[in-house]
Amino acid sequence: MSTILKNDGPPYEDDCFSAWCRAVRSRINASADADTREVRSLLGLTTPLPPPRPHVLYLSAAGGFSGSEQSLLQTLASLDEQRFQKSAVISRPGVFADRMRAVGVETTCCGEEFWSSNYESLACAARLLCHIRPDILHINSYAGPGIVFAAHLLGIPIVQHVRIATPIDLADQVQHAAAVIAVSRFVAGRLFDFGVPQDRVHCIYNPVDIMY
């Protein structure tokens, strides 16, 4: 993996960085496909593989634990593991990371603040996504331009969760998202006012722990 992710020079221009990301994605996919075919051939397996579970990466750039993190935790605790592979990236270790692991979510604390608007944040985000290789990126709150741009370059669709009534604070993330989750009809209405197409907005209320 270190060879695949090696960058021989800093791609300061967007076109260079885009080409680098495409090359990385192509090499990773080709390597994974070749390894799978070789292993199945050695084992004499001829039956089709079962459909893969979509791998959803949940990103929380803040390392604290508040209402939005509690809501995400409750959602992941009840998510069907037979249908979805779930993992999470959190900026810092702490209560949130510990509780995510406690409900069975593979959690990485990257030690980086993605919301910085600089090349280092973009490069870090691209390396992270190339390593984890999610099918979908779910962003729980504000995450900054680096991770959004990296996901866009690598062709990873974004699901943006909007839990606040001021979606302008998440403008770039909402505009680049393939789907947007609003926690109430009021928030959905604010997204419509902001110009987000209605077919991209899904109103899903926060889960309630009835056993609390």
Q: Which two tokens stand for residue 162?
A: 């909007």
- Mean per-residue pLDDT for 157-165? 91
What are the structural domain ranges in the chain? 12-50, 52-203
Tallying the residues shown for the chain, one arrives at 212
- Band of residue 115 on the pLDDT scale cut at 50, 70, 90: low
pLDDT (tens digit, 9 = 90+) per residue, 169-191?
Answer: 788 889 889 999 999 999 999 99
Q: Is the pLDDT of residue 24 over 60?
A: no
Out of 3.40.50.2000, 3.40.309.10, 1.10.10.10, 3.40.950.10, which CATH number does the structure's domain 52-203 have?
3.40.50.2000
pLDDT (tens digit, 9 = 90+) per residue, 84-99?
Answer: 899 998 888 888 889 9
Q: Is the pLDDT of residue 6 over 80?
A: no
Residue scoring higher pLDDT (169 or 126): 126
